[in-house]
Amino acid sequence: MEIVTSIEKMTQISLKWRKEGQKIAFVPTMGYFHEGHLSLMRLARKKGDRLVVSVFVNPTQFGPQEDFEKYPRDKKRDIELAKKEGVDVLFCPSKEEMYPPEYQTYVEVTELSRPLCGESRPGHFRGVATVVLKLFNIIRPHLAVFGEKDYQQLLVIKKVVQDLNLSVEIVSHPIVREIDGLAMSSRNVYLSSEERKSALSLFKSLKLAQELVKKGERNSDKIRKIVRDFILSHPYTKIDYIELRDPKNLIEKKEISGPTLLAIAIFVGQTRLIDNIILEID
């Protein structure tokens, strides 16, 4: 495995592979790998001849009160895990390499970025869309793999690819969970043992909503209230949002009619967690 920090060198490697007719698969990450990241890498490894994984904690997607400086990092561990997964290149650019002093260009997906995390984290998806487009232009992948835990992010990236006519296939991977159901996230390390017990209310509330739908409940407001009350019955929890939306365009749904995205963001102590489920009518 080669560790590359230079944009120029990364692009040279990719262009060489493309000239040789090799299919490049790409997994963008902010590092601090867990099983969720590794699952994305395994899927990408199967679908491509060459695998590139980026490790870059992107400052433009963090708000002024968010955890950019304390976001968990362990480059040495990431390198060892990437080697075990057969990664060909680990691309680890610096902040200065990605955003030089005179940098001033950004990408914005106007409608899909507004609700959910876009409302509570203004500017977040502008930062996500910008850095992913930059990475696509640097790495020139044929396909890129994203996890479904960040469902809104997945839709935003698909829209960037569609609207800007990019020739990269976006492949999604189902949410990877701990044995107890908690969605894997680098931020889970922030949780104390007591907070982690309360964090399970997030996954349990998704299952509760699915049961309500199976029993015939179709009113979004009723489902939202039951889910809210269940989460708030656990200590240390605070609701950011509980939304029922169309999974294709994130338009709000007042009634459950066909597949419906239930997306939730909560704080457990100081840690913000997100999760989601597609509610299905049997």
Q: Find out whether 33 is annotated in a ligand binding site.
A: yes
Q: Find out whether 30 is annotated in a ligand binding site.
A: yes
Q: Find out whether 98 is annotated in a ligand binding site.
A: no
| Cβ contact 33:68 at 8 Å | no
Q: Find out whether 185 is annotated in a ligand binding site.
A: yes
Q: Find out whether 184 is annotated in a ligand binding site.
A: yes
Run of H or E including 51? strand 50-55
Q: Which residues pair with 252 in a beta bridge?
A: 245
Cβ count near 77 (within 10 Å): 12
Q: Find out whether 124 is annotated in a ligand binding site.
A: no
Q: Find out whether 61 is annotated in a ligand binding site.
A: yes
Q: Find out whether 49 is annotated in a ligand binding site.
A: no
Q: Find out whether 41 is annotated in a ligand binding site.
A: no
Q: Find out whether 181 is annotated in a ligand binding site.
A: no
Q: Which residues pair with 147 in a beta bridge?
A: 173
Chain centroid offset of residue 175 CA: 10
Q: Find out whether 104 is annotated in a ligand binding site.
A: no
Which residue, among 25, 5, 30, has the nearest Cα to 14 in the 3D structure? 25
Q: Which residues pair with 267 in a beta bridge?
A: 238, 272
Alpha-carbon distance values, 125 to 64, 140, 157, 237 (Å): 15, 21, 9, 25
Q: How many CA atoms lie within 13 A of 134 on its CB side?
A: 24
Q: Find out whether 36 is annotated in a ligand binding site.
A: yes
Name the burial class of residue 162, with classes exposed (0-12), middle (13-18) and buried (19+) by CB atoms within 10 angstroms of its CB.
exposed
Q: Find out whether 268 is annotated in a ligand binding site.
A: no
Which residue of the set 37, 124, 142, 173 is catalytic?
Answer: 37
Which residue, among 112, 99, 104, has the nearest Cα to 163 in the 3D structure? 112
The question of whether 124 is a catalytic residue gets the answer no
Q: Which residues pair with 29 in a beta bridge?
A: 55
Residue numbering of the annotated binding site for ATP:
30-37, 147-150, 176, 184-187
Residue numbering of the annotated binding site:
30-37, 61, 147-150, 153, 176, 184-187
Residue numbering of the annotated binding site for (R)-pantoate:
61, 153
Residue numbering of the annotated binding site for beta-alanine:
61
Question: Residues with catalytic annotation?
Answer: 37
